[in-house]
């Protein structure tokens, strides 16, 4: 089920940053208390392959997100201690040294379970042991959530493990949603900041399409 248009789960989760600070973060409270949007992106595992390229890509865009009143937060199911070890590992050894935003450590998978983004392809009951067994790695897909200042989700997307994200698209989506918030217009396909938007009525779309065709 999609969360778009709904409140993000109101749940505090452990996090870690590059200063070794382990604290609880509640995404909804971060958005509401700071009056900012939140970009929350999940990745499968620390110390892997596509994942560090994404964390560095989001780090490179942190200033662009900050200019748009947006907080960047990473997340996986690794522990805070593993996050910190990776944060202290240099790039030339596959690490994410230099990443400054916090990373959620959802090691009990409470939030990932609520979001339904875990790689669990099958659950089965083992009659001999009485245990529930799962197929899959039980780690998250590459899910991304954009949350507004009230804690409401205005975008969600999920990539399979091998496919990295395009950070620029999330900047475009934040620009578009901010334009809607500030101007009451809607943003057409491929809209980017500074381009014409449209009024959400028959006249608005007719005017926009006629201008685009000329």
Residue 51 annotated among the catalytic residues of the structure: yes
Q: Which residues pair with 123 in a beta bridge?
A: 134
Alpha-carbon distance 5 to 145, whole Å? 12
- What does DSSP assign to residue 29? H
Alpha-carbon distance 73 to 79, whole Å? 15
Q: Nearest-CA neighbor of 61 among 151, 175, 155?
A: 175
Query: How many distinct helices (H) and strands (E) make up the chain?
Result: 7, 9
Q: Nearest-CA neighbor of 76 among 64, 66, 86?
A: 86
Catalytic residue, chosen from 51, 77, 88, 187, is 51
H or E stretch including 182?
helix 167-183
- Residues of 122-153 as b/e, b for ≥16 C-beta within 10 angstroms? eeeeeeeeeeeeeeeeebbbbbbbbbbbebbb
Alpha-carbon distance 151 to 24, whole Å? 17
* 21, 114 Cβ separation under 8 angstroms: no
Active-site residues, by number, are: 51
């Amino acid at each position: 089920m999609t969360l778009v248009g709904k409140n993000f789960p109101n749940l505090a989760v452990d996090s870690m940053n590059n200063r070794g600070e382990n604290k609880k973060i509640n995404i909804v409270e971060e958005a509401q208390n700071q009056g900012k949007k939140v970009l929350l992106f999940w990745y499968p595992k620390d110390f892997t392959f596509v994942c560090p390229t994404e964390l560095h890509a989001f780090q490179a865009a942190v200033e662009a997100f900050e200019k748009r009143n947006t907080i960047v937060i990473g997340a996986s199911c690794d522990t805070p201690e593993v996050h910190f070890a990776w944060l202290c590992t240099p790039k030339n050894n596959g690490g994410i040294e230099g990443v400054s935003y916090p990373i959620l450590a959802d090691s009990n998978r409470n939030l990932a379970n609520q979001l339904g983004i875990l790689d669990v392809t099958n659950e089965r009951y083992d009659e001999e042991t009485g245990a529930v067994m799962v197929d899959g790695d039980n780690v998250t897909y590459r899910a991304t959530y954009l949350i507004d200042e009230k804690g409401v989700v205005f975008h969600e997307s999920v990539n399979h493990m091998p496919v990295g994200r395009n950070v620029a698209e999330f900047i475009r989506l934040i620009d578009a949603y901010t334009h809607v918030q500030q101007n009451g217009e809607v943003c057409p396909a491929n809209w980017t900041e500074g381009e014409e938007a449209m009024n959400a009525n028959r006249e608005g779309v007719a005017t926009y399409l006629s201008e685009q065709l000329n």
